[in-house]
Structure formats: structure tokens, C-alpha cells
């Protein structure tokens, strides 16, 4: 790792200042992705601005039909939250399945979303639930936030403060984990609000997380396992790598979608 | 350099550390606590697991500079007079061969037992295997590690 200066501001304003004063300053959250990236010299920030000391970024709140989760909340905290378990149980379940216990004790919602790894779990939840990413500058709809492999709509120096999720009638998540990395080989999140069904797929897309029109149409008509299994999911624009080719992933998408529907609550 | 004051195995420690110093380096090189092992240095193997404020974390993926005021426990801090019940159980059930992964296995074992007890959940064999996903052992085949954790859970 190259030399780096460490900062731990107590407010969003101080964090923004620290980010703009460093030559190439970066936000540090749980470090579960960034530290490994720095060791490999794939990232070489001059300064790290640790956002875990900022009170505004922590906490989980429900107001009306909206569940708000602070960006610095760890996967373990989200998984264990009674509010999340009650409001959107699939989200608690998703957080409980990220990586391993030590990763869940450190990794955060904001870090996962900002990183937008094509095989990460949270991006599928945000996209299917139509969540809103709130930053120090603005609110960004999930549909506009994820812009491709490891890329998002965030600007330089912009900090995610929380993510807002609206209640659903039913939501479910199923992931086929790549057994060595524990990331999703295919993960499918389904969310139903009345006749509207949104389905987001992670781990499989050539260009990162995406919504499946075929599954959304099939499940809007008939929200059932059979409909998910029978949907015409195409292998176009799906990833092929040593873990599985595009056809295999297309098949897994149907199977995981059926499991997500079966577990939806 | 960042000045950090923290508690390691019950003792206060204050040091100036470089921003990029990993907790694993800090423990092994600055404090000479070499019980925390480095297997992969890429967050995969769990040999470096220690407790920070009572929670299992990978020391190779934690910055020492971020631990102002933290309470760190390493494998050296577990035995209190006699061996900890988890250490005793690993010995009893032959939960190790070369022993390289053992400090991390034991720290993860203590973490999961404490967590499940606090949440009132039953730590079944299946749950133990699932909880050990971040700890890799090249020798034992895991069976005796799972037995050891199960046995220690009944004694902790
Ligand atoms: C062994 C292992 C297994 C894993 N398995 C999974 C898995 O199964 N599924 C999964 O989804 N993930 C997995 N992960 C990744 C894990 O969830 C990470 O915690 C996550 O991707 C990054 O979160 P972090 O808080 O650690 O962020 P960091 O590593 O600190 O930061 C990541 C990036 O996000 C930026 N950032 C962080 N917070 C903010 C913010 N609030 N605003 C703006 N930018 C920000 C940083 O600048 C950096 O670019 C795994 C990681 C490991 C090491
Ligand atoms: S050395 Fe830290 S996980 Fe392997
Ligand atoms: S006992 Fe040798 S690696 Fe586990």
C-alpha cells in the first residue's frame, strides 16, 4: 500500500472539506473493498476520509412508509435490525448473507452501494425496491444511480448519507453464491407493490445490476414460482466467465427468481 | 502519522501509526503479538481474526489509525489464568493440525457463540459451518473444528 493520510471527521461538512483538500482523497467506510484495492495498488488515495465517526450517517429509522438506513450502517447491523426485519424482511435477509461474519461487522451499506460491484447484493435490492440514495447534495433514484460496472452517478467528493426504502407488499431475495468469493454468481431481488413488480438481477449482467423486463412482465401477470421459471429470460448481455457461461446464468436467473418469489414476504 | 490510544488485551496502548498501517501489522510488528496470523492478506482466510469492541474482524483489513478508543482482543488475550473454554475444546477435540488457522478459528468461534447467546439463537452444527465461511483451514477438514465450537458453546 502507498502512504496515505488518515482523517476521521465528525460531520459531513468536515468530511467534504477533507475530501476537497486532499490531492486524491477518498471516502473510507468499512474498508472491506477499499483496503484490498489499495493493497493491490488499484487505488492509491493520498488521503482517507473515514466517515464512520459522523452521527448523521448511522441509525435506522421508520417514518410513515419509509425505512431509512444510514450509509455507515454495517451489514450485521442491518441484518439484526428489528425495524428492517419487520418493514422489509428480504433486506435483512440479504444483509445476513453478505460475505462472512467478519466482513458483515465492518462492511457498510454506503460502501457497497458506492462501489457497485457487478456481483454485490445491495444494488439488486435498491433497484428492485426503487430506493432513493440520499447524498450530501441531492437525492438520486436507484434507477439513475447505478451506471455500469463499478460506476455510479456519484460525483467527486459526494457522500452517501443514507438510503430510503419505501414499504412493499412483498419482497424476496435469492442468491446463488460463488462458493469461494461468497459474492453472487446470480442474485435476484423481486418486489411487488399491487400490480407493479420490479425484478433486479446482480452477478449476471455484462454491465452490472439490471432489471429484467421478461421477469417483471411474467410476474406482474402471475406472481408465482411457475411464472418465474417459465419466463423467457434471454442470455443476451449476460456475463460468461470461468464460473459459468451466459446460458447457465440465464437458467440460474429463472431458478433464483422462483426462489425469491417463494420466499417473498 | 496518526496518534491512536486503544486497549489491547486489557492494557492501554498509545502509538503513532502511519495512515496505511494494518491492524495485523500493528499487532505483530509494533506490539509483537504474533499470535494473530496472516494467511492471505486479502480478507479471505480469517487467520487474522481478532475482536474489536467485542466483534470479530479481519485484522488484515482494518486500519490501526481507525481504532482510537477501541478495545481489541487477540488470541493472546483470551486465556485468563487457564485456557479459555474455546481453546480447551480445540485441544480436546483435536480441532487443529498445523495450527496456522487456529487463532482465527478460535476468535471466530468465541464471536459466534457470544453473538448467538446474546440473540437467544441456537448455534446448530449447520449454523457453525455457515458462520465459519470466512475461516479457511488447509488441514483438518473442519469436522473437529465444528465439534470443538459446539462443545465450547455448551461451556461458555
Ligand atoms: C471476503 C469478502 C466477501 C464479500 N462478500 C460479499 C458478498 O457476498 N456480497 C456483497 O455484496 N459484498 C461482498 N463483499 C463486499 C463487502 O460487502 C464490502 O463491505 C462492500 O462492498 C464495501 O463496503 P465498505 O463499507 O467496506 O466500503 P469501503 O471498502 O470502505 O469503500 C468502498 C468504496 O465506496 C466508497 N464509499 C464508501 N462509503 C461511501 C459513502 N458513504 N459515500 C460515498 N462513497 C463511499 C469508497 O470511497 C470506496 O470507493 C465481500 C467482501 C469481502 C472482503
Ligand atoms: S490474513 Fe486476513 S483474512 Fe487472511
Ligand atoms: S490446522 Fe492447519 S490450516 Fe487449519
Among B6, B52, B56, the strongest candidate for a mutation testing the A interface, having the largest count of A CBs within 10 A, is: B56
Cβ contacts below 8 Å, chain A against chain B, sum to: 76
Name which of B18, B65, B133 is nearest A100 (Cβ-Cβ). Answer: B133
Taking the CA atoms of residue B11, residue B15, residue B69 and residue A115 in that order, the dihedral angle to the nearest 10 degrees is -130
Are residues A249 and A201 part of one domain? yes
Predicted confidence at residue B80, as pLDDT, reads 86
User: Is pLDDT above 90 for A265?
Assistant: yes
Predicted confidence at residue A22, as pLDDT, reads 82
What is the number of domains present in chain A? Answer: 3
Give the SS3 label for residue B134. helix
Q: Does B69 reach chain A within 8 Å, measured CB to CB?
A: no
Predicted confidence at residue B77, as pLDDT, reads 97
Q: Does B49 reach chain A within 8 Å, measured CB to CB?
A: yes
Predicted confidence at residue A214, as pLDDT, reads 97
Q: DSSP code of A141?
A: E
pLDDT band at residue A180 using 50, 70 and 90 as cut-offs: confident
Are residues A161 and A130 part of one domain? yes
> Which candidate, B42, B139, B62, B149, places its Cα nearest to that of B106?
B149
Q: Does A34 reach chain B within 8 Å, measured CB to CB?
A: no
User: Is pLDDT above 90 for A92?
Assistant: yes
Range of the domain at A88: 55-166
> Among residues 94-133 of chain B, which lie with CB inside 8 Å of chain A?
108, 111-112, 115, 119, 131, 133
What is the arithmetic mean of pLDDT over A22-34? 96
Q: Which three cell numbers stand for residue A66?
A: 419509509
Residues of chain B positioned with their CB less than 8 A from the CB of A22: none
Average pLDDT, chain A: 97
Predicted confidence at residue A55, as pLDDT, reads 97
Q: Which residue of A has its CA nearest to B134?
A: A100
Are residues A141 and A157 part of one domain? yes
Domain ranges of chain B: 2-78, 85-155
Residue A150 Ramachandran class (φ > 0 left, ψ -120 to 50 alpha, else beta): left
Are residues A161 and A178 part of one domain? no
Q: Distance from B146 to chain A by nearest Cα, in Å? A: 16
How is domain B85-155 classified at the architecture level of CATH?
Orthogonal Bundle (1.10)
Using the structure block, give the residue that is written with the C-alpha cell 419482497: A171
Are residues A75 and A14 part of one domain? no
Nearest-10 crossing angle of helices A213-221, A246-263? 30
pLDDT band at residue A71 using 50, 70 and 90 as cut-offs: very high
Cβ–Cβ below 8 Å for A32 and B43:
yes
> Which candidate, A213, A79, A189, places its Cα nearest to that of A131?
A189
Are residues A142 and A80 part of one domain? yes
Fold match, B2-78 / B85-155: no
Q: How far is CA A174 from the centre of its chain?
A: 14
Cβ–Cβ below 8 Å for A8 and B68:
yes
Q: Is A182 in the pocket of ligand 1 (CB under 6 A)?
A: yes
Alpha-carbon distances, residue A265 vs A34, A168, A170, A198, A231 (angstroms): 34, 9, 5, 15, 21
Predicted confidence at residue A179, as pLDDT, reads 87
Per-residue pLDDT 10s for chain B (156 aa) are: 999 999 999 999 999 999 999 999 999 999 999 999 999 999 999 999 999 999 999 999 999 999 999 999 999 999 988 999 999 999 999 999 999 999 999 999 999 999 999 999 999 999 999 999 999 999 999 999 999 999 999 999
Q: Which residue stretches of chain B are H helix?
A: 23-25, 85-92, 102-119, 125-131, 143-155
Are residues A26 and A87 part of one domain? no
Predicted confidence at residue A205, as pLDDT, reads 96
Dihedrals phi, psi of B50, to nearest 5 degrees: -130, 175
pLDDT 10s digits, A93-123: 999 999 999 999 999 999 999 999 999 999 9
How far apart CA A159 and CA A152 sit, in angstroms, is 12
Residues of chain B positioned with their CB less than 8 A from the CB of A106: 57-58, 61-62
> Which candidate, A106, A35, A43, places its Cα nearest to that of B41?
A35
pLDDT 10s digits, B31-70: 999 999 999 999 999 999 999 999 999 999 999 999 999 9
What is the arithmetic mean of pLDDT over A35-47? 97
Q: Does B13 reach chain A within 8 Å, measured CB to CB?
A: no
CATH 3.10.20.30 fits B2-78, yes or no: yes
What is the arithmetic mean of pLDDT over A213-237? 96
How far apart CA A149 and CA A239 sit, in angstroms, is 12
Q: Is A183 in the pocket of ligand 1 (CB under 6 A)?
A: yes
What is the arithmetic mean of pLDDT over A81-86? 97
Amino acid at each position: 500500500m502507498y502512504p496515505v493520510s488518515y482523517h476521521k471527521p465528525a460531520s459531513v461538512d468536515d468530511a467534504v472539506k477533507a475530501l476537497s483538500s486532499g490531492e486524491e482523497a477518498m471516502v473510507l467506510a468499512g474498508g472491506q473493498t477499499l483496503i484490498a484495492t489499495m493493497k493491490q495498488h488499484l487505488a492509491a488515495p493520498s488521503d482517507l476520509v473515514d466517515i464512520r465517526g459522523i452521527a448523521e450517517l448511522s441509525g435506522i429509522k421508520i417514518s410513515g412508509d419509509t425505512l431509512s438506513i444510514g450509509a455507515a450502517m454495517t451489514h450485521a447491523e442491518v441484518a439484526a435490525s428489528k425495524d428492517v426485519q419487520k418493514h422489509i424482511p428480504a433486506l435483512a435477509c440479504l444483509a445476513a448473507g453478505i460475505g462472512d461474519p467478519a466482513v458483515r461487522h465492518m462492511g457498510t451499506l454506503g460502501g457497497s452501494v458506492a462501489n457497485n460491484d457487478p456481483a454485490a447484493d445491495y444494488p439488486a435490492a435498491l433497484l428492485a425496491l426503487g430506493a432513493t440514495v440520499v447524498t450530501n447534495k441531492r437525492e438520486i433514484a436507484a434507477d439513475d444511480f447505478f451506471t455500469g460496472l463499478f460506476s455510479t452517478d456519484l460525483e467527486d467528493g459526494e457522500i452517501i448519507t443514507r438510503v430510503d426504502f419505501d414499504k412493499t407488499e412483498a419482497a424476496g431475495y435469492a442468491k446463488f453464491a460463488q462458493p469461494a468469493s461468497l459474492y453472487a454468481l446470480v442474485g435476484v431481488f423481486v418486489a411487488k407493490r399491487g400490480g407493479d413488480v420490479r425484478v433486479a438481477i446482480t452477478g449476471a449482467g455484462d454491465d452490472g445490476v439490471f432489471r429484467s423486463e421478461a421477469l417483471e412482465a411474467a410476474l406482474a401477470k402471475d406472481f408465482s414460482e411457475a411464472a418465474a421459471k417459465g419466463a423467457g429470460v434471454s442470455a443476451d448481455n449476460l456475463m460468461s466467465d470461468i464460473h459459468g457461461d451466459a446460458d447457465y446464468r440465464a437458467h440460474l436467473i429463472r431458478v433464483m427468481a422462483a426462489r425469491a418469489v417463494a420466499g417473498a414476504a | 502519522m496518526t496518534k491512536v490510544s486503544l486497549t489491547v488485551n486489557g492494557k492501554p496502548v498509545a502509538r503513532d501509526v502511519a495512515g496505511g498501517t494494518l491492524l495485523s501489522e500493528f499487532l505483530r510488528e509494533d506490539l509483537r503479538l504474533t499470535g494473530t496470523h496472516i494467511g492471505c492478506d486479502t480478507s479471505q482466510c480469517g487467520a487474522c481474526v481478532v475482536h474489536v469492541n467485542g466483534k470479530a474482524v479481519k485484522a488484515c483489513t482494518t486500519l490501526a489509525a481507525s481504532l482510537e478508543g477501541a478495545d481489541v482482543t487477540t488470541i493472546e488475550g483470551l486465556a485468563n489464568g487457564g485456557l479459555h473454554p474455546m481453546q480447551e475444546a480445540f485441544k480436546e477435540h483435536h480441532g487443529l493440525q498445523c495450527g496456522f488457522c487456529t487463532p482465527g478459528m478460535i476468535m471466530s468461534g468465541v464471536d459466534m457463540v457470544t453473538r448467538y447467546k446474546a440473540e437467544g439463537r441456537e448455534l446448530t452444527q449447520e449454523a457453525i459451518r455457515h458462520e465459519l465461511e470466512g475461516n479457511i483451514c488447509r488441514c483438518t477438514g473442519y469436522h473437529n473444528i465444528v465439534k470443538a465450537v459446539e462443545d465450547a458453546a455448551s461451556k461458555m
